[in-house]
Structure 1
Amino acid sequence: MSSARTVHLLRHGATVRPGLLLGHVAVAVTPQGIADCIRVAAGATFTQVVSSDLSRAAECAAALGAPVRHDARWRELDFGAWDGRDPTTLPSDALAAFWRDPDQAPPPDGERWSALIARVTAALADLPDATLVVTHGGALRAALASACGFDARQVWAFDLPCAAMVTLRIWPDSAQIVGLRT
């Protein structure tokens, strides 16, 4: 039987455009957001850093002072036509349908929840022990869904603010949340 792996999932720091649906759009991270990521990651033991290739995650990963490998599978959900938009300006019925069931009611021209879970599941499977991943809120929740079996509604019950870090202990057939830092 394979031994367990420890994986740290760090959400990027606060951006200069909070409150928007930030999928694949490029948005800078605030200096405080980067400092928060450095502070939270300082409590983790890791031998490598993997990051989403989107700038807000890559910027935070680079600030950790370790070599970074970029992996597009750790990108945020693609919000399609809603990317970069203020949710209060979107049709409320469509937005409510998305939050109720992001797989059956994805954003126009956007990604389905199941597609996000599939790519994050593959990325998670490729990680060796003692890896720190700098990613996004949606991808982090998709990792929790994949590793721990949570459904889409359950993963939104977790408050995962910018610079939050979830530590998972992963076995071949199960996983456990062993830490949460903010």
Structure 2
Amino acid sequence: MFLDKIKDFWAKKNVKKRLSNVKHNSSNNYIKKVGLLIDESYFLERDQLINELIQNGIQNQNIELLVFRDKIKKNEVFDYSVFSPKDMTWNGTFDKEQITTFTNANFDLLISYYDIEKAPLILVTLNSKADFKVGFSSVDMRLNQFMIDTNAEKYKVFVSELFKYLKILNKL
């Protein structure tokens, strides 16, 4: 437990250092491929969120999901990619291949669906090579190019606001 606190401290220190020189890519591409990063520690409506994205024109096969949980039981089996703080190293990198594959994917849109800052989630967002990153306004403003001011429980509001502004920005 004490070692986890120290590990989290070093990861946050690494994040702060890397956030000081963040450069966002600007792209005029249309949104086709979407990466979805969810904190499932408290937000459990994952399927409903995905259905809202599908109803707004994103195809199911173009949505890639990565889910964060604070604790994963030993015998739990998932049909989607899941990670926890244990997958993060002391210097703020990840050992798990699923996470590195997700961060190296060239998404047109990355939706960082968490409104509480946690070092592993911030690191995945920061390392992502997505063209356009969207998240909540309660998270550090340097991570995302576009922020929506709502909370995670209101996923319908989030998705409707997201698509309203994506149309304005001519991304759809």
TM-score normalized with structure 2 length: 0.33
Tell me which of the two structures has the higher relative contact order, counting C-alpha pairs closer than 8 angstroms and 6 or more residues apart: 1
TM-score normalized with structure 1 length: 0.32
